[in-house]
Structure 1
Amino acid sequence: MKQNLALIALVVRDYDEAIAFYVGKLGFVLVEDSYQPEQDKRWVVVRPPGDGPSGSGILLARASSPLQEGFIGNQAGGRVFLFLQTDDFWRDHAAMVDADIHFVREPKQADYGTVAVFEDLYGNLWDLVQFSDNR
């Protein structure tokens, strides 16, 4: 059996501001942005660079109800929600600092690798992490 995690839905306030952040600031690739008339929604998928066509992506899902709006920026209840793995922590950390990405925890060396926590445009927490070779 072969399975993989294809997409994770991330509730956003606005498609275009989310694209501007994930593509413009984080350097993700815009995989798809198509209108779905039957639901009056857009299907917007972004993916980290280098992840390839079969890699996991993020579906930027605009909140469509007051209940969903309440989860924008807090999809994991204040915990780190997503983990952006890199092959060069310091290169990507510097690029993110230059792009005005807000880090809430500075870089540290841990047993599993080098890590720092940043916020996306809505306040969801992410780890930028380069795992050590033994992981």
Structure 2
Amino acid sequence: MSKTQASHISALTHVSLVVEDQQAALDFYTEKLGFEKQMDMPMEEGSDDRWITIGVPGQDVEIALQAVGWFDGRDEEKLRPLVGNNAMLAFAVDDCHAAYEALKDRGVEFVSEPNEQDYGTEAIASDMEGNELLFLQPSADGSM
């Protein structure tokens, strides 16, 4: 039996991105990067808190835009340092140079221009809060 079968885990469905401003994050990821809004619903009645998820069109994994303001006390203290410091998100692109130019034209700020590596061509951008986003065109042999 494989490790996957033994754990009963069938898929990764969501990753969280801790943000200060959900609406600004939603606008950035949908308008500048072209992601699709998957869900946008109230967390609980009478609250301004929202469950917002976005995703790359055609992909099953969703990014939950997790507002740091949902939490208080120790949980907020633990999560607040993640705003702008989340783990890097990496996205595959067919043509790194073309993606770089198109995203730059939409106002996306880049930390690095496309550069060639052994594993492919990469460019690094940042979102509205400073989280780094890697755009990677795998090498011709498909290795990363």
TM-score normalised over the length of structure 2? 0.80
Quote how far apart the aligned CAs of 1:38 are.
Answer: 5.8
Deviations 1:10-37 (A, max 9, x none): 0111111111100011110101101121
In 1, Cα distance between the equivalents of 2:101 and 2:25?
21
Secondary structure of residue in 1 paired with 2:28 = helix
In 2, Cα distance between the equivalents of 1:134 and 1:113?
8
Corresponding pairs, count: 128
Highest RCO, 1 vs 2 (Cα 8 Å, sep ≥ 6) = 1
RMSD of aligned alpha carbons? 1.8
Return the letter of the residue paired with 2:68. A
Return the letter of the residue paired with 2:58. G
Instruction: Tell me the equivalent position of 1:109.
Output: 116
In 2, Cα distance between the equivalents of 1:93 and 1:39?
42
Ranges of 4+ aligned residues in structure 1 off by more than 3 Å: none
In 1, Cα distance between the equivalents of 2:126 and 2:32?
12
| Structure label with greater radius of gyration | 2
**Unmatched tracts of structure 1, length 5 or more:** none
Identity %: 34
Please show how residues 112-127 of structure 1 align to structure 2 within 5 Å.
112-127=119-134
TM-score normalised over the length of structure 1? 0.85
Quote how far apart the aligned CAs of 1:70 are.
Answer: 2.7
Contact 2:15/2:64 (8 A) holds in 1 = yes
Instruction: Tell me the equivalent position of 1:70.
Output: 81
Instruction: Tell me the equivalent position of 2:19.
Output: 12
Deviates more, 1:16-25 or 1:2-11: 2-11
Contact 2:12/2:61 (8 A) holds in 1 = yes
Higher strand share: 1
In 1, Cα distance between the equivalents of 2:93 and 2:32?
16
Instruction: Tell me the equivalent position of 2:97.
Output: 90
Question: Alpha carbons of 1:39 and 1:71: their partners in 2 closer, same or farther (altered >3 Å)?
Answer: farther
In 2, Cα distance between the equivalents of 1:59 and 1:94?
27
Secondary structure of residue in 2 paired with 1:70 = helix
In 1, Cα distance between the equivalents of 2:45 and 2:138?
43
